[in-house]
Amino acid sequence: MTAEIFREPLTRSGEDYLKSIYRLTTGGEAAATTALAEVLDLAPASVSGMIRRLSEQGLVEHVPYHGVRLTAHGRRIALRMLRRHRLIESYLVARLGYTWDTVHDEAERLEHAVSDQLVERIAHALGHPTADPHGDPIPDSDGAIAEFVHVPLVDVAIGETVVIRRVDSADEGRLRYLASAGLVPGTPIRVTDRQPFNGPLSLDVRGRDRIVGHELAAILMCARET
């Protein structure tokens, strides 16, 4: 593989692929083509074609029937795009009055258009935040990213108090509901009861009783108090 191969311009679609592969492989497993197709809402055949092109560019490693992983170069690009996306989301919420349920699509469009200089000015203006409005870590300018260890609310024991750190969803309806219920990053909550067979959880949220279904509780990523 020669250095010249990396000079080929990467399309917006290619950047989206790398970012999605990064997200699917954060747990250490390779990303299956079918999972990538589902995330990107594309046909598996289209995904296979793009994976082949990204592999030829030295950005991914693909082993048939075993999935795809980012190369070191592909990972750097993916983290660069994540930094752009999450800083833009943070700026839209902090300075332009957007709510956390309305920023994802806007950031998806802007992340491909802004310059690196503008991204760094945004970071400086915000005081170099380490997490976006949903609690996702923001890679630093050198590509380093914090590896947070959080526990889903569904795994928290009755009587235990935790703090919401991240919401693992970009669904606008879910985010609006969680905001209305006060279930946002930084909020301390105590599990007071849970129903069996994946039933709802009863919570104490800053002195107010809340009931959250199992599906929503699964996307609330929490840190235990120390």
Cα–Cα distance for residue pair 31/19, rounded to 1 Å: 12
The yes-or-no verdict on residue 5 having pLDDT over 60 is no
Cα–Cα distance for residue pair 32/66, rounded to 1 Å: 7
Cα–Cα distance for residue pair 119/141, rounded to 1 Å: 10
Which residues constitute the domain of residue 193? 151-224
- The last residue of a domain, from among 70, 102, 120: 70
Q: Is the pTM here over 0.95, yes or no?
A: no
Counting the structural domains of the chain, the total is 2
CATH code, domain with 9: 1.10.10.10
- The last residue of a domain, from among 15, 44, 70: 70
pLDDT at 8: 67
Looking at per-residue confidence, does 179 or 66 come out higher?
179
* Interval 39-54: pLDDT, tens: 999 999 999 999 999 9
Q: Do the bridges between strand 161-167 and strand 151-152 make them parallel or antiparallel, or are there none, so unpaired?
A: unpaired
* In a domain? residue 118: no
* In a domain? residue 104: no
Encoded tokens for 43: 């046909």
* In a domain? residue 189: yes
- The last residue of a domain, from among 70, 94, 122: 70
Place of tokens 């592969």: 21
Nearest of 167, 168, 175, 153 to residue 224 by alpha carbon: 153
Cα–Cα distance for residue pair 143/202, rounded to 1 Å: 39
Cα–Cα distance for residue pair 19/60, rounded to 1 Å: 12
* Interval 110-159: pLDDT, tens: 999 999 999 999 999 999 999 999 999 999 999 999 878 899 999 999 99
CATH code, domain with 204: 2.30.30.90
* Interval 199-213: pLDDT, tens: 999 999 999 999 999
Cα–Cα distance for residue pair 38/215, rounded to 1 Å: 19
* In a domain? residue 111: no
* In a domain? residue 131: no
* Mean per-residue pLDDT of the chain: 93
At residue 57 the predicted structure's pLDDT band, cuts being 50, 70 and 90, is very high
Phi, psi for residue 133 in degrees, rounded to 5: -60, -20
Cα–Cα distance for residue pair 44/42, rounded to 1 Å: 6
* In a domain? residue 173: yes
Nearest of 76, 62, 71, 56 to residue 8 by alpha carbon: 56
